Amino acid sequence: MIVVVGLSHRTAPVDVREKLAAGADALPAVLARLAARSELAEVLFLSTCNRVEVFAIAPPASGDEGVDAALRAIREELARHGGARSGDDLAAYLYDKRGDSAVEHVFRVAASLDSMVLGEPQILGQVKEAYEAAVAAGALKGTLGRCVTRAFAVAKRVRTETAIGSGTVSISSVAVDLAGRIFGGLSDHAVLLLGAGEMAEAAARSLGQGARALRICNRSFDRAAALARDLNAAAVPWDGLDSELVQADVVVTSTASKTCVVTREMVRRAMKLRKGRTLFFIDIAVPRNVEAAVHGIDNVYVFNVDDLEQEVARGMQARQAERGAADAIVAEELARFLAWTRGLEVQPTVVAMRAKARAVFLSELERSLAGRLKHLAEGDRSALKQMVESAVGKLLHAPTTRLKERAADGEDARELAAAMRFLFDLQELGGASAQLEPVAAEAEDERLPN
């Protein structure tokens, strides 16, 4: 059974999440400890800024006790990794899921339906990196790996069949979007960061990526210089603001000033020297850094926090409207995956039934070939063996098909499989199931779209 244990932005503050996070350097050791636990058959460790989760499988045929043991093992390893004295220290923050709800959770995480920002694309790449790390560590072997790869396909369907990723949903992305609309791209334009607040820095990082130049003007020149080094930009002194307004095309303002630092008169003077070139202000300071009257100057555009948040709200509304369609895709894919896993549950019985029937028929044939039919030529012997193989297949076709159909429909397949094992005195071998699982996965690949 697939299980999930973890915490996220919904259940734990950042100071707890950061203790459990694992970067590329720590991830191999964490995976090794989890994979070494006998309570876990397969495991994947997912670590992002907003969530830390372990996807795992309890050993086959371990029952409810095995599932409970798997959940305890994961909690113990998370506590050890985070430096907690025991799993109880994290109990208030951790959630766990098992079975169908665990699979659904994996699908929803990959499709960005459980993210802080609905529809954000980064989480899919992070899940793929976690999958690749688990494969490299030998921690994924079968069903869990299949579950995660199906989650990739679910995410792709959600992304392509809905508009869940449409609209701008962050201040910085809105700023980039608005600037792009006004200038038709930023490759030939310069960005000025006025102040060095976190919000302004985030917007400047986004805007500066495609801009011709990025310059930073701050009351503390040392702070401007430090940030400029980080952003591969140029620092300019505060008293050079007037001349910077002449050169810049986009100005991001976020100072702690209680009064406006950009006045209508300053911009009016700059626009005369700019000879009418458009000037775009993104004022994300509270109180505002740019006088409201600046927006009235020809070819000057000013957007403040309220303007940007309205754009963000519109983007989120557009995404929320697509949630129902995305949920329907997850439900459809979940049903298909669960049908496949239920088929795996009855597969050992099918294998054992076919093996026993084949062995009985071939044994009787060999006895006859050694006695009354020993005069038969090799060609005739081969024909009889082929007839036996064909008879076994035809005889068991109906019960095999019906058992698998019951499993796919979620009906009483387990009871039917148990009855078959009892009636035919079947002995299932773990190896038979394990050997057949890759074949089932290949068949599933043919049936399920990528």
Give the confidence band of 290 by pLDDT, cuts at 50, 70, 90.
Answer: very high
Decide if pLDDT at 93 tops 70.
Answer: yes
Q: Determine whether 49 is an active site residue.
A: yes
Pair 313, 283: CB distance under 8 Å: no
- What is the model's pLDDT at position 197? 67
Exposure of 424 in the CB half-sphere (CA atoms within 13 A): 23
pLDDT tens digit string along 56-73? Answer: 999 866 678 899 999 999
Task: List the Cα angle 96/140/329 in 5-degree steps.
Answer: 60
List pLDDT tens digits, range 242-280: 999 999 999 989 888 889 999 999 999 999 999 889 999
Q: What is the pLDDT of residue 446?
A: 35
For the segment 172-183, what is each residue's pLDDT rounded down to a tens digit?
A: 677 777 877 888
- Strand 2-8 and strand 51-57: pairing? antiparallel
Nearest to 56 by CA among 82, 81, 79, 38: 38
Per-residue pLDDT at 428: 59
Residues 6+ apart with CB under 8 A from 333: 107, 150, 153, 154, 157
- pLDDT at residue number 200: 66
> According to the model, what pLDDT value does residue 435 have?
35
Pairing of strands 234-236, 213-217: parallel
Query: What is the predicted pLDDT for the residue at 342?
Result: 75
Catalytic-labelled residue, pool 49, 147, 217, 260: 49
> CA-CA-CA-CA torsion for 281, 285, 288, 290, nearest 10 degrees?
-30
Q: Nearest CA to 392 among 347, 361, 433, 436?
A: 361
Cis omega before residue 59 (within 30°)?
A: no
Average pLDDT over residues 386-415: 81
Q: Does pTM top 0.75 for this prediction?
A: no
- The reported pLDDT for the residue numbered 449 is 38
Burial of 183 (0-12, 13-18, 19+ CB in 10 A): middle
pLDDT at 125: 92
Confidence at 441, pLDDT banded by 50, 70, 90: very low
434 vs 143, higher pLDDT: 143
Segment 391-395 mean pLDDT: 90
Instruction: Please say if the pLDDT value at position 399 is more than 90.
Output: no
Question: What are the structural domains, with CATH classification, of the chain?
Answer: 2-166 (3.30.460.30), 171-308 (3.40.50.720), 331-397+409-447 (no CATH)
pLDDT over threshold 50, residue 433: no
Q: 356 or 161: which carries more pLDDT confidence?
A: 161
CA distance 382 to 207: 76
With 60 as the cut, is the pLDDT of residue 2 above it?
yes
In which band, very low, low, confident or very high, does the pLDDT at 448 lie, cut at 50, 70 and 90? Answer: very low
Per-position b or e across 8-45, b if 16+ CB within 10 A of its CB: beeebeeebbeebbbeeeebeebbebbbebebbbbbbb
At 94, the pLDDT band (50, 70, 90 cuts) reads very high
